[in-house]
Structure 1
Amino acid sequence: MTGAATVESRPGAGADAGVGPVIRPRLLTQLLDDAVAAWPERRAIDFLGRTWRYDEIGALVSRAARGLQDLGLKPGDRFGLCLPNTPYYVILYFAALRVGAIVVNFNPLYVERELDHQIRDSGTRMMAVPDVKVVHEKVAAVAEGTGLEKIIVCPMADILPPLQSWGFRLFKRRDHAVIPADGRHVGFRALVVRDAAPDPVAQSPDDVAVLQYTGGTTGVPKGAMLTHANLTANSAQMLAHVGGVRAVQERTLGVLPMFHVFALTTVLNFSVEIAAEMILLPRFEMDQVLATMKRTRPTQFFGVPTIYVAMNGVPDGKLPDMSAIRACISGGAPLPLDVREAFEKRTGVRVVEGYGLSEASPIIACNPIEGLVKDNSCGPRFPGTVLEIRDPAEPSRLMPLGERGEVCARGPQVMKGYWQRPDETEACFADGALRTGDIGYLDEDGYLFLVDRIKDVILAGGYNVYPRVIEDAAYHHPAIKEAVAIGVFDKYRGQSPKLFVALREEMTATEEEIRAFLADRISKIEMPKYIEIRDALPKTLIGKLSKKELVEEEKARRSVS
């Protein structure tokens, strides 16, 4: 369609010419095999100061794969990882894939209800957990009812540096899980005891590799089926995007949890693809992050906006030297312009915003590491990707360039579909393109600008009001640290905007001051009817600002009143 908003990449030509690289389908285990063969003595993992080489990780993966086969894990079986960022995650991820199993990612902070649903829905047979009481007890509680056959217990003390290991065993006893001596529990050491290669299994890059559950904020979570080819493609696209392999070894700071697809691709798969050192942290704890940055001087850093907001709050004297960082990308949620500018000014590190979703492994667009970055844009299409803007009401119709519509994507990273949900899979595609559920537009240079989620659009008196417009305006207020806008019931207009804000420490603002500040930045129809100032705003388990809780609160409040 002439003039339609479509940006595409044609395989076979260079990315700089506006076309994409050739991306060949591969198995994820090939990434590790290649790294072990080419760089056996390179450091693969740094976990709180203890390190492992690539040949050591390769050997442990082989032993663990043998152990999983001995336990009865077969091709196509689902294997759960309910682990923080640790060497165990890396080893068991590749071991399960080696035997042809499908990895199912679980957040260790899930409550029993969430664990129960995901185990049942995926049919997970075996799961790995740390020997941490708060995690193990939840998994053990649902194991019998869900049919979970084996729980692989991973001792945290065994992967810590000697002094920390001694302290963990001695002073953290109340945190240790009590592991029953039954047929369901298997210790990691017992799993890798046999020094024997696993039996080879027939595999194809089109096989499902990971079930990445998504959609929990809009309904019952469903598993996006990501194939080996999907995930290796997104890793190859990352390689093309950052400019290829350098002579020096990259060091990736892994503070984002690898059970989230953004970190799965950037921290794990991409790092292994280029034989980088993965500097893993089990959680985001600011003092630990700063100390680790000083000790290891990472060259790659991937974060969500709340991490950059938190780092902007660190006193100047505590900020480490970040001059070694070459690739710094924000994803997972829109990055407010003032947050990016403040981070870049304080650290001297350029941070670029990308965009993706679990169903696309996840990246489909990103601003360039070097080159033009457009404010409030999540950049041009990722190498090898096609971006389309379609009419949300009539998805078969492409919108003209510059007009708003639903962002859709095609590419080798797009999922196979949703696990055991053919109807939802069909609804998620339009003429073969993945529907993202986000409203946006493409400019004349092919840069993507997001406006809002379709489900979040506020219908006020016949007008479409986009919460992100209100939020972006609010972020320019010097006292506002976080902002979330939602639609609330209005008898006259149907819905009206309500703005929730959290203020920066030692700063103040009143509702009237915020409203006056917004007056010349947004239209009257966009002006929040209500403004509520809170100490903190709700976040998801990975630190993204969450609207779900606020929407439910407002519904409950109005049903009572």
Structure 2
Amino acid sequence: MQTIEDKDAEAARRPWLASYPEGIAWDVEVDVRPVHEQVLAACAKTPDAVALDFLGGKTTFGDMAKAITALAGALQSQFGIGKGSRVALLLPNTPFYPVAYYAVLRAGGIVVNCNPLYTVHELSHIADNAGADLMITLDLKMIFEKAEALVEKGLVKSLVVCRFTDALPPVKRVLFSLAKRKDLADPRRSRIAGKVSHYHELVARNQEPKPVAIDPHADVAVQQYTGGTTGLPKGAMLSHANVAANMSQIDKWGCGLFYPPSKVVAVLPFFHIFAMTVCMNVPLCNGAQVVMLPRFEMKALVDLLKRTRANVLPAVPTLLAALAKADNVKAEGLASLQVAISGGAPLPNEVRAAFSKKSKALLAEGYGLTEASPVVCCAALRVPSKPMSIGLPLPATDIRFVDVDSHQPVGIGENGELQVKGPQVMLGYYENPEANAEAFMDGWLRTGDVGHMDEDGYVFLVDRIKDLIICSGFNVYPRVIEEALAEHPAVDEVNVIGVPDEYRGEAPIAFVKPATGQSATEAELKTFLAAKLNKIEMPREIIFKDALPKTLIGKLSKKELREEYAQLKAKSREQA
């Protein structure tokens, strides 16, 4: 029994407990059953319910279970997949992805997610580092040719190829075959045809897989590669318990949101950790329907919402901004949405405001990272939270902020590096002891993000440590400048980087994409900023661009801007 002193100590250590929404407890027991066991149990419970909707083509839970089981059996018998085997998935959002994902886990293997939009060079590093002998992919030419190249380079031994048209409803299947035939590869005529097996043939065998004893806490389920913005991507090893724990935490935080009759939109790609967990694992394990798009297209997304009446939309800020600003997207097109969850990047206040004018959905910002499976904090999903906050730590999750230099814990309201403990935190990076040593401090996962907690336990992020700009010895946070510039009506998107400066050491440079039909000069924007920023924070230059580089999930990217600016300066020095 807790004493008053114990309760006071816990409140001081975890100030967010007092702000938890009614009905949610922090000190809960999380479910760590392997995700494939949970999804197969959901399939057995409601076999006739629709699990997946892909462009109008529907897959029931019962049919999905049959495909998972049959593919798992074929993976074991034909390819020897078992405990510790790594299988790469090079797939966009289609029904093949969840089937392949759960089948690999059921066979005892480890999923290695690969982005189909990556170059062969980028994929080569992942395939080589992971040692994935088998890759499951699609017969769309732009994807298959990359997988083919990996086999030819000796980085992958065998391919399992899915026929894209099999995922389409009958009418669309015929139309695609007629109008888009040139977009399809013919694996049987490939230079590596002897190393290609066909998904539909493997599943048709209906082989029963052998049982596999899984230790949820020790056995790796997913080897998820980080974005590599500061170097080569690292493979974060997420155990079965890590993945399942985060599902359980999100499930409890959602208070029933991810159960039928909810329908969750999966426009974010499953190969990304956010979508893998929030768009796929959580709803499917709860028997809720997932409605998919292979990629983001405005009209396709709005049509999907009208057709399916989906009510939950996990998204990135750029997607929400596009919906909010699109003149041809009306409020009635978004009327079915009850909750939109923003993640993957900071949610600008102007995007929040613009989206709220078009949709009555509760817009909740969350925060996570690959190494935490991924969700760490989230705003409440049923009631409003403090604006500009990433919410509260999830159940069973502890966080702290430590001084960037001294590494000592900081007080309420003081900025420091966010660090995390919880059952969702990874085992470590694959074969990378140096990165592992850097990733943890006294058993806490270092996020590399700077922020603070207020007196109510709400978490606010300021910026990334690696993006911090040191001007004349003072800390300048790019996000502060970006938020200020974004308030100007002529600014559509903005990204700020730090560059070398002879006088100040470093200086901020702002890149701006003008809003459609708007214009502003550098001088006008600096005048606008004068009342919002101090002199040290004022950008040295403001550079206008027609488009700003983004990562493959739509997050504004600083890496390309740093490279571009360095090249511009090198060229100007040569000309001088």
TM-score scaled to structure 2, two decimals? 0.93
The answer as to whether partners of 2:237 and 2:428 remain within 8 angstroms in 1 is: yes
User: What is the aligned partner in structure 1 of residue 442 from structure 2?
Assistant: 431
Tell me which moved more, 90-99 or 418-427: 418-427
CA distance in 2: counterparts of 1:451 and 1:268, whole angstroms: 30
Q: 2:517 aligns with which of 498, 506, 525?
A: 506
The answer as to whether partners of 2:24 and 2:253 remain within 8 angstroms in 1 is: no
Q: How many residues align?
A: 558
Matches within 5 A, 1:103-252: 103-180=111-188, 182-206=193-217, 207-244=219-256, 248-252=260-264
Deviation string 1:45-71 (CA, Å, 9 cap, x unpaired) is 000001011011001101111111122
- The change in CA–CA distance for 1:87 and 1:426 in structure 2 (over 3 A counts) is same
Q: Secondary structure at the match of 2:362?
A: coil
Matches within 5 A, 1:411-450: 411-450=422-461
CA distance in 2: counterparts of 1:210 and 1:297, whole angstroms: 32
Offset, 1:327:
2.6
The answer as to whether partners of 2:161 and 2:197 remain within 8 angstroms in 1 is: yes
User: What is the aligned partner in structure 1 of residue 354 from structure 2?
Assistant: 342
Deviation string 1:399-458 (CA, Å, 9 cap, x unpaired) is 112111000011111111001112211211111111000110000011111011001111
- The change in CA–CA distance for 1:150 and 1:17 in structure 2 (over 3 A counts) is closer
User: What is the aligned partner in structure 1 of residue 299 from structure 2?
Assistant: 287
CA distance in 2: counterparts of 1:60 and 1:392, whole angstroms: 49
Q: Secondary structure at the match of 1:315?
A: coil
Deviation string 1:102-154 (CA, Å, 9 cap, x unpaired) is 00000000101011110000001111111011111111112132341111111
CA distance in 1: counterparts of 2:57 and 2:457, whole angstroms: 44
Offset, 1:263:
0.2
The answer as to whether partners of 1:9 and 1:384 remain within 8 angstroms in 2 is: no
The answer as to whether partners of 2:21 and 2:380 remain within 8 angstroms in 1 is: no
5+ residue gaps in structure 2?
Answer: 1-7
CA distance in 2: counterparts of 1:183 and 1:491, whole angstroms: 60
Amino acid at match of 1:125: D
The answer as to whether partners of 2:92 and 2:269 remain within 8 angstroms in 1 is: yes
The answer as to whether partners of 1:373 and 1:379 remain within 8 angstroms in 2 is: yes
Q: 1:409 aligns with which of 413, 420, 432?
A: 420
Q: 1:485 aligns with which of 496, 503, 516?
A: 496
- The change in CA–CA distance for 1:327 and 1:348 in structure 2 (over 3 A counts) is closer
The answer as to whether partners of 1:9 and 1:18 remain within 8 angstroms in 2 is: no
Q: 1:451 aligns with which of 438, 451, 462?
A: 462
Offset, 1:383:
1.5
Q: Secondary structure at the match of 1:124?
A: coil
The answer as to whether partners of 2:251 and 2:258 remain within 8 angstroms in 1 is: no
The answer as to whether partners of 1:440 and 1:451 remain within 8 angstroms in 2 is: yes
Amino acid at match of 2:128: R
User: What is the aligned partner in structure 2 of residue 47 from structure 1?
Assistant: 54
Q: Secondary structure at the match of 1:192?
A: helix
User: What is the aligned partner in structure 1 of residue 368 from structure 2?
Assistant: 356
Offset, 1:97:
0.3
Amino acid at match of 1:75: K
- The change in CA–CA distance for 1:272 and 1:432 in structure 2 (over 3 A counts) is same
Q: Secondary structure at the match of 1:142?
A: helix
User: What is the aligned partner in structure 2 of residue 516 from structure 1?
Assistant: 527
Offset, 1:7:
3.2
User: What is the aligned partner in structure 1 of residue 545 from structure 2?
Assistant: 534
CA distance in 1: counterparts of 2:275 and 2:259, whole angstroms: 24
CA distance in 1: counterparts of 2:544 and 2:332, whole angstroms: 32
CA distance in 2: counterparts of 1:466 and 1:541, whole angstroms: 24
Q: Secondary structure at the match of 2:133?
A: strand
- The change in CA–CA distance for 1:317 and 1:212 in structure 2 (over 3 A counts) is closer
- The change in CA–CA distance for 1:489 and 1:96 in structure 2 (over 3 A counts) is same
CA distance in 2: counterparts of 1:34 and 1:15, whole angstroms: 29
5+ residue gaps in structure 1?
Answer: none
Matched, 1:56 2:79: no
User: What is the aligned partner in structure 2 of residue 330 from structure 1?
Assistant: 342
User: What is the aligned partner in structure 1 of residue 14 from structure 2?
Assistant: 7
CA distance in 2: counterparts of 1:554 and 1:387, whole angstroms: 36
Q: 1:35 aligns with which of 39, 42, 49?
A: 42
The answer as to whether partners of 1:88 and 1:154 remain within 8 angstroms in 2 is: yes
Matches within 5 A, 1:259-274: 259-274=271-286
The answer as to whether partners of 1:97 and 1:103 remain within 8 angstroms in 2 is: yes
- The change in CA–CA distance for 1:99 and 1:465 in structure 2 (over 3 A counts) is same
Amino acid at match of 1:29: H
Offset, 1:20:
3.3
The answer as to whether partners of 2:302 and 2:333 remain within 8 angstroms in 1 is: no
Same amino acid, percent of matched pairs: 43
The answer as to whether partners of 1:119 and 1:146 remain within 8 angstroms in 2 is: no
Offset, 1:552:
0.8
The answer as to whether partners of 1:226 and 1:359 remain within 8 angstroms in 2 is: yes
Q: 2:389 aligns with which of 377, 381, 385?
A: 377
